[in-house]
Amino acid sequence: MRQDRQIQTHSIFSSQGVVVKFTGEQLCGPTDWAFSESHHVMVVHRAGVLKRLSSQFSTGLSANTLPSKGDCWVIPAGTDYAAEAVGDSVEYCELHLPVGIIGRDFVAAAGTQDRFLYHAIEQLAVLRPHGDDISELLRDNIVQGIRLHLKGYKASAFDSGERYASVIAALESYLRDTLSKRHSLDEMATFTSLAPSTLLRHFRRNFGMTPYRWLLERRIEKSKELLRATKTTITEIALDVGFSTPSHFSDQFRKLVGCSPREYRAAIKR
């Protein structure tokens, strides 16, 4: 059942034509979010954990990306955006940007990591309680930096794959943390909310290899650490790093390292 939104606007101010709005929101159930503006809007995630966030843009882009600190949602002028959020609470910052300041070359994006923008917004958050002249001057300087930074947001940058960098980085972290699990391409595509072909293309662009090859190398890498530093049996190591059988582990280890796991461990002890 949809709930009335419980929004607490911490502060709102305008500087050099940019409206900055810090907001906290309690989510008591599935919550609908929507934007449809004649100017550009950027939403930057600051805090809180969502269990689900399904986004849909009128441009055709859709995403099921869970936000991390610094993740940005870009809603270009004239674009309709709708989302369903499920979680407990969330804090975010909205930037409302006139087209005349930034230009019309924004493209829709969901969950794009922008560390510069995140840190700039956090600096503004520190300054917001202060109304003295120095704080206002610092605030104006930060907003000017944001304006210059956002003028570099070109459609070509998104098309070249930069918009996928944070998604692939999140997948890499997830795979490293779950090496013992069997991973399929479909599962990884679901995790990233990308089509399998798109995932493969951008994964190769980032790492120069397929996800399967990357996983194999990381598993062998981890197994070498365990062979060196522990007395864990080879059978247990095989399962711990995600191989279905010890024999499959030994075969792949020999192909990449040039010797068996047992021979590798014996050589280390000499």
**18-55, pLDDT tens digit by residue?**
999 999 888 877 888 899 999 999 999 999 888 888 88
Domains of the chain, CATH where assigned: 6-160 (2.60.120.10), 166-269 (1.10.10.60)
**162-204, pLDDT tens digit by residue?**
556 767 888 888 898 899 998 999 888 888 777 888 888 888 8
Residue 13 — φ and ψ, nearest 5°? -150, 165
